[in-house]
Structure 1
Amino acid sequence: MATTQQITKAEQLFQASGLGRCELVRGELMMMTPAGFRHGRIACTVAAIIRDFAQGRGLGAVLSAETGFQIGHDPDTVRAPDVAYVAIERIPQTEPVGFFPGAPDLAVEVLSPGDPAGDVLAKVQDWLDAGCRAVWVVDPKTRTVSVYHSRRQITVLSESETLDGGEVLPGLRVAVADLFA
């Protein structure tokens, strides 16, 4: 990732135009390569599965399009997962126009071939440190999902196993293989 413009605050990032895909990490603007076709298809599949489950039960909002979540202040951090879920009780009466203030309940990151492992783990840690209740890291290459609940509580599921929503989305059950179909 390369650093570009002098944008150090979440509000500056939200007001900026023409930047392309980027995140603000501890006051530093980080540019990201556009997602590939496979990445986009898998992210859309995951979002649709969670949306169908949550919407039918009135549980909360599912967000895609790499929606920004402001998870740090002074220096500001705005991260953008591939898919996010926010429980209904955490959504303000007036929906935020800008970045969501805080972490989602669930963040889903779909790996791309060029993602350095250290960057992915740093992002997972940022989500957990900000209060995210679970992070799913979907790996198209190995066809696995790593479920993070904390730094030490990690479960890796193969495509022959079933992913469940745990305490975040109780009752959600989906075959890992279906995420890659």
Structure 2
Amino acid sequence: MNTITLNFNSVIDLDDEQFYQLCQSNPKLKFERNANKELIIMSPTGGITGKYNSDINTDLNLWNRKAKLGIVFDSSTGFKLPNGADRSPDAAWIALEKWNQLTIDQQEKFVPLCPDFVIELRSISDNLITLQDKLKEYIDNGTRLGWLINPKDKQVEIYRQGRPKEILNQPSSLSGENVLPNFILNIESLW
């Protein structure tokens, strides 16, 4: 996915509500903001990445419907991270007790917290370092488990709180560990 980063900070300082309204007024565009308040414009993904994303979200949501432990979000959901960044992971999950502590207004707009679990799926045009930096940012802001799935290099990078990144070469499945108990994502079809 190609991205463009724009720095409007010297011209306009978009507050959270203005950024939200910008996103709502341009539904065909996908925006994120980094911690420096720079606007990131992302292009849509291609068909293969879209299919993989859909499959991953379906599997996560089916597990969650049975487990009833949290809420699953797709790539169009915005999260306001503690560092001020606004991010939209390809898939995300929040524990139910954290979700239930939010007001209806907070649930309705960009979610003002960091997901407990995130997945970023590298598309053919994604810059790997940019995605690795996003996963580090999620972990630094409270994500407990993150997966960077990289079909291009046939690898998965696993990010966890307080531990070094783990790299798996062409794994057939991934475990949700203690964050998503009994969740197993079969990813053989990605390779």
With the length of structure 1 as denominator, give the TM-score of the two structures. 0.88
Q: What whole-Å deviation, never above 9, does each CA across 1:104-158 have from its counterpart, x for those lacking one? A: 1111101122222221122111101110011111112123321111474222233
The letter of the residue matching 1:133 is R
TM-superposed CA distance for 1:88, in Å, is 0.8
Q: Aligned pair 1:133/2:144, yes or no?
A: yes
Secondary structure, in 3 states, of the residue corresponding to 1:84? Answer: strand
Contact 1:70 1:78 in 2 (8 A): yes
Secondary structure, in 3 states, of the residue corresponding to 2:48? Answer: helix
The letter of the residue matching 2:114 is A
Alignment of 1:94-109 (within 5 A): 94-95=103-104, 96-109=107-120
Alignment root-mean-square deviation, CA = 2.1
Secondary structure, in 3 states, of the residue corresponding to 1:13? Answer: helix
Alignment of 1:1-181 (within 5 A): 1-3=4-6, 6=12, 8-16=14-22, 17-18=25-26, 20-26=29-35, 27-72=37-82, 76-92=84-100, 94-95=103-104, 96-150=107-161, 152-178=163-189, 180=190
Contact 1:70 1:103 in 2 (8 A): yes
The letter of the residue matching 1:2 is T
- Work out the percentage of aligned pairs sharing the same amino acid: 27
The letter of the residue matching 2:145 is A
The letter of the residue matching 2:100 is P
The letter of the residue matching 1:86 is I
Q: Whole-Å Cα distance in 2 between the matches of residues 49 and 144 of structure 1?
A: 19
Contact 1:60 1:87 in 2 (8 A): yes
Q: Whole-Å Cα distance in 2 between the matches of residues 97 and 29 of structure 1?
A: 22
Q: What whole-Å deviation, never above 9, does each CA across 1:5-34 have from its counterpart, x for those lacking one? A: 646332211111116111011211111111
Long gaps (5+) in structure 1: none
Q: Whole-Å Cα distance in 2 between the matches of residues 114 and 67 of structure 1?
A: 21
Long gaps (5+) in structure 2: none
Change (3 A) 1:98 1:7: farther
Q: What whole-Å deviation, never above 9, does each CA across 1:33-81 have from its counterpart, x for those lacking one? A: 11111111111111111111111111111110331100035xx310110
Contact 2:156 2:171 in 1 (8 A): no
With the length of structure 2 as denominator, give the TM-score of the two structures. 0.83
Aligned length: 178
